[in-house]
Amino acid sequence: MTSDEILMDTEERMEKAVNVFRDELRGLRTGRATPALVDGLRVEYYGSPTPLKQLAQISTPDAQQIVIRPFDASVLKDVEKAIRSSDLGMSPNNDGKLIRLTVPPMSGDQRTKMASRIKKSAEDAKVACRNVRRDGNKHYDSAEKGKEMTEDERDKGKEEVQTLLKTYEAKVEDMAAKKTKEIMEQ
């Protein structure tokens, strides 16, 4: 592998780790209704777990309510069952055509727990980025051992990988800080 290929691979993998963290943050409850809260929900549909967003239209008419309008009315009971068995902590109101979820305001204790959960997820994302750095450094070492590049090129590459790591760790920190602030302010 050339130095550029190693850097591209490393950057792509770090970007994926940050995107996983970003998606995880979207699904966290903040006391405000958002369709992302139920996006990850899987509903048992004809024997296979199917993402809710493929089975229904999800909207938020106001800041405290999520409305789930299934494309097929026969799925209502299955959607309701999936919501009840999830860790959302909300009870669905089924009127025969659609399901309404009322997002209750979060207590101070819940906010603190959510903030610590964000911190843990952020640390996991940073660890994933560090693992990618380790792999990139291994590629540089093996390329230098295989006489594909010089020691100087290897060292320069490792420095660039370290710079990438710092950039992506800063992105993770920034996203975590914003989400924590959003949760604690309400």
Q: What is the pLDDT of residues 49-94, one digit of tens each?
A: 888 888 888 888 888 888 989 888 888 888 888 888 887 777 888 8
Please report the pLDDT score of residue 17 as a whole number: 93
pTM for this prediction = 0.71
| CA distances from residue 44 to 49, 69, 174 in whole angstroms, order as listed | 4, 16, 36
Domain that holds residue 154: 3-26+107-185
Higher pLDDT, 37 or 44: 44
How many domains does the chain contain in total?
2
Q: How far is CA 86 from the centre of its chain?
A: 17
- Tell me: do 78 and 118 sit in the same domain: no
Asked if residue 146 belongs to a domain, the reply is yes
- Tell me: do 86 and 140 sit in the same domain: no
Given a cut of 90, is residue 105 above it in pLDDT? no
- Tell me: do 133 and 175 sit in the same domain: yes
CATH of the domain at 132: 1.10.132.20
Question: What is the number of other CB atoms lying within 10 angstroms of the CB of residue 165?
Answer: 19
- Tell me: do 92 and 114 sit in the same domain: no
Q: What is the pLDDT of residues 106-165, one digit of tens each?
A: 778 878 888 898 999 999 999 999 999 999 999 999 998 999 889 999 999 999 999 999
Asked if residue 31 belongs to a domain, the reply is no
The closest of 185, 181, 186 to 25, measured between CA atoms, is: 181
Asked if residue 17 belongs to a domain, the reply is yes
- Tell me: do 122 and 75 sit in the same domain: no
- Tell me: do 63 and 14 sit in the same domain: no
Please report the pLDDT score of residue 16 as a whole number: 94
